[in-house]
Structure 1
Amino acid sequence: MAAIKELKATVRSGTGKGAARSVRREGKVPAVIYGGGEAPQPISLNYKETNQAIYAGHFLTTIIELDVDGKKERVIPRDYQLDVVKDTPLHVDFLRLKAGSRLRVDVPVHVINQEISPGIKRGGTLNIVRHAVEMWVPADSIPEGLTADLATLDINDSMHISAFKLPEGCTPTITNRDFTVLTIAPPTVYKDEAGATAAAAPAAAAPAAAAKAAPAKK
C-alpha cells in the first residue's frame, strides 16, 4: 500500500488567478480539494512541504492526510502545475477519498533481478514497454507498484500483465487483451561496426594481392 503523508493547509476564500497570485506572494501554494459529493474547497499549502512532497517522487499515487485548519481530510493529488522556468509548484488539485471508493491511477512497474536474468547476461536489452500500468484501485489501498521479476527471462521472452501478481482489489483499465509490459530484446549489431568489419577485410587482403602481383626479382 502507498505511504500516507501529512500536509498542513489553510482555507482560502478567494478563487481565480488573482487570488492564486496573492497566495503565492505570501509564500504559499494555492490548491483545491474536490470530489466526494462535496463542493470544491480552495486551500493554501506550505510551500516547503509541498515542494518536498512533489520531488520526493510518486506524488500522484501518494495518499495525503490534509490538516485543514484542524480538520483532517484524506485526499490524493490528481494534478499539479510547476513554473516553466523555476520548476516550483504553482497549484495542486486534490481528490477527496471516501471509504469504499475506487479510483484510476498509474501504478509504476518495479524491475528486480535484472543482474541475474539469462537474457541480460547473454547481451539482451531490457525493453520496458510500460513504465506504469493504469489501474482501478481501492481508494484506501493504493499499491506502491507492480514487481517484474527478470530472474528467469531469456532473450525474446516477455512479460504480459497476466504474469504479474496484482494487489487485491486492483484491476487494469485495459481488460480486452493481455498487453505486454516488458521484453528482453536480442543484441543489436550496429551498422557502423559491421561496416568497419567489412572494410577491414579488403584492406587486409590488399597487401597480399599486391605482393602476389609484383614480378619476382632476378
Structure 2
Amino acid sequence: MSDTLTLSAETREQVGKGASRLLRREGRVPAVIYGNKADPAAIHVSERELTKLLMTGHFFNSVVMINGERTLPKDVAFDVVTDRPVHVDFLRIGEHSSVHVNVPIVFTDEAEAPGIKRGGVLNVVRHELELICDAAEIPDDITISLKGLEVGDSIHISAVTLPKGAKPAITDRDFTIATVVAPSALKSSEGDTSQTEAGEGDTAE
C-alpha cells in the first residue's frame, strides 16, 4: 500500500496571474483543493517540498495530507522551459473514499519466460493500470509474472490478480497489457526462409 505523504500549505489571499508569479518567485507553488462537496480552497505550497514528493515516484497514487486534510493529487502543471511545477490540483477525499488512480506495473520472472529466453521481446502496451480502489488501500504497484510466456503470448487484464477491493476502471473489454513478440531480425529471417522454400519448390517443378 502506498505511504501517506504530508505537505504543508498556506492559504492564498490573492489569486490571478500576477499573484501566482509573485508566489513562484518566492519558491511557492499555487494550488487548489476541491471536491467532496466543499468549496474549492486556494492554497500555495513549498516548491522544494512538492518536488521532493514528486520524486518519490508514487505521488499520483498516494494520499497527501495537507494541513490535516486528506487529498489525492490529480494534476501538476509544469513550466515548458524550466520543467518546474507551476500549479497543482488536489482532490479532497474521505478516509475510505473510492478513488480512481493510475498504478505502475512491475513485470517479474523474465528469466522464466521461454519466449524471451529464445530472443522474444516484451512489448509493453500499458505501463500503468487504471484502478478504482479504497483510498486507504491504494497499492504501490501491480506485479505481473512473465513466467511461462512464449512468443506470441499476451497478458490481458483478466489474467491479472488485483489487490482485494481493487477493480479495473476499464470494464468494457479485456484489454491487453503486454505481449511477447519476435524480434525484427527473427521475423525477417523467417520470411527469407519461407521465400527460399517457395523458390526451391518452383525449381523442382
TM range (shorter): 0.7 to 0.9
**Residues 36 and 93 of structure 2 are in contact (CA less than 8 Å); yes or no, is this contact kept in structure 1?**
yes
Report the alpha carbon displacement of residue 116 of structure 1 after superposing the two structures with TM. Answer: 2.8
CA distance in 2, matches of 1:124, 1:66: 47
CA distance in structure 1 between the aligned counterparts of 2:186 and 2:118, rounded to whole angstroms: 17
Gaps of 5+ in 2: 191-205
Q: Does 1:36 align with 2:36?
A: yes
**Once the two structures are aligned, what percentage of the paired residues are identical?**
44
1:179 corresponds in structure 2 to: 175
Per-residue CA distance 1:71-102 (angstroms, 9 max, x = gap) = x1111110001111111111111111113321
Secondary structure of 1:40's match? strand
Residue 164 (structure 2) pairs with residue 168 (structure 1): yes
Alpha-carbon distance in structure 1 between the residues aligned to 2:38 and 2:19: 22
The aligned counterpart of 1:212 is: none
Number of the residue aligned with 1:18: 18
- TM-score (norm. length: structure 2): 0.86
Asked if residue 90 in structure 1 is aligned to residue 86 in structure 2, the reply is yes
1:134 partnered with 2:130: yes
Residue 47 of structure 1 deviates from its aligned partner by 1.5
Q: Is the 8 A contact 1:97 1:140 kept in 2?
A: no
Structure 2 counterpart of 1:8, one-letter code: S
**CA apart distance, 1:61:** 1.1
- What does residue 200 of structure 2 align with? none
C-alpha distance in structure 2 between counterparts of 1:137 and 1:181, whole Å: 19
Q: How does 1:40-79 map to 2 (within 5 A)?
A: 40-67=40-67, 72-79=68-75
2:9 equivalent in structure 1: 9
**Alignment check: 8 A CA contact 2:70 2:95 kept:** no
Give matches, 1:185-196, under 5 Å: 185-189=181-185
Pair 127,88 (structure 1): closer, same or farther in 2 beyond 3 Å: same
Structure (1 or 2) with the larger CA radius of gyration: 1
**RMSD (Å) for aligned C-alpha atoms:** 2.2
Q: Does 1:80 align with 2:73?
A: no
Q: Does the Cα contact within 8 Å between 2:34 and 2:90 map onto a contact in 1?
A: yes
The answer to whether the 8 A contact 1:112-1:147 is kept is yes
Q: How many correspondences in the alignment? A: 193
Distance (whole Å) between structure 2 residues aligned to residue 105 and residue 166 of structure 1: 13
Q: What is the one-letter code of the residue matched to 1:167?
A: P
Give distance in 1, aligned partners of 2:158 and 2:187.
37
Name the residue aligned to 1:104: 100
Please give the per-residue CA displacement for 1:153-175, whole angstroms capped at 9, x wherever unaligned.
12111111111111122111221
Q: Deviations along 1:97-131, whole A, 9 cap, x unmatched?
A: 11332121112111111133211100000011111
- Conserved? CA contact 1:136–1:171, under 8 Å: yes
> In structure 2, how many angstroms separate the alpha carbons of the residues matched to 1:178 and 1:193?
33
Q: 2:30, 2:88 within 8 Å by CA — same for their partners in 1?
A: yes
User: 2: CA distance between counterparts of 1:9 and 1:163?
Assistant: 42
SS at the partner of 2:150?
coil
Structure 2 residue aligned with 1:144: 140
1:113 equivalenced with 2:88 (yes/no): no
